[in-house]
Amino acid sequence: MEFSSKLLENAVNEMSQLPGIGKRTALRLVLHLLRQPKEQTLDFTKALNTMRSEIKLCKSCHNISDTDICDICANPNRTENIVCVVEDIRDVMAIENTSSFKGLYHVLGGKISPMDGIGPNELNIYSLVEKVKQGRISELIFALGSTMEGDTTNFYIYKQIQGCDVKTSTIARGISVGNELEYTDEVTLGRSIINRIPFEASLKS
């Protein structure tokens, strides 16, 4: 792609770093921004900059938050000893949309995937195991989706908390294999949380 402006080229190159955005789409988006009032671009970049510099991770559940303790963890009406284990904020949002779960979350930040160099130490597993060992959790619900990485991660955590006084369950497999939680419709996901099955039973099937 030949550019008559280096400034334009730089902006297009930056935009095309985003996933799913090729050079042509990047050019279209950048030209769109150029046609809008300047303030709009400033608001856009300001929102990104402010997010990047001020966003936090909840000290308790590791979810993305504006405060040290997120709104879910800080809510006294939530059942704090039932904890749903998820991969990232998209899963939290998907489950919150179902209104079927009133416990807390623990966000791992990914799944164990040796192929991608992600082991247990790269994830927020230690703090979860600690919470269980301290007796702060009565039930752990695994909601990592039915991929091989999800299964591996569930099993790893399950092994770490063997002998602890905690019930483990997994969301029902109404969710087809390979589907990530965020793409599952609310009704199916809500039902699968309510009809969750003991984790041990999921190992036998």
**Which residues in this chain contact Zn ion in the complex, by CB under 5 A?**
58, 60-61, 63, 70, 73
Q: Whose Cβ is closer to Zn ion: residue 26's or residue 104's?
A: 104
Q: How far is the CB of 200 from Zn ion (least distance, A)?
A: 28
CB neighbours of 193 closer than 8 A, spacing ≥ 6? 84, 95, 98, 100, 101, 141, 143, 171
| Least gap, CB of 107 to Zn ion (angstroms) | 8
CB of 172 within 8 A of CB of 196?
yes
Burial class of residue 170 in the structure, from the number of CB atoms within 10 Å of its CB (0-12 exposed, 13-18 middle, 19+ buried): buried
Smallest distance, Zn ion to C-beta of residue 64, A: 9
Cβ proximity to Zn ion: between 12 and 72 the closer is: 72
CB of 77: closest distance to Zn ion in angstroms? 14
Q: Which of these, 139, 153, 158, lies nearest to 200 by C-alpha position?
A: 158
State which residue, 58 or 189, has the beta carbon closest to Zn ion.
58
State which residue, 64 or 161, has the beta carbon closest to Zn ion. 64
Residue 182, SS3? helix
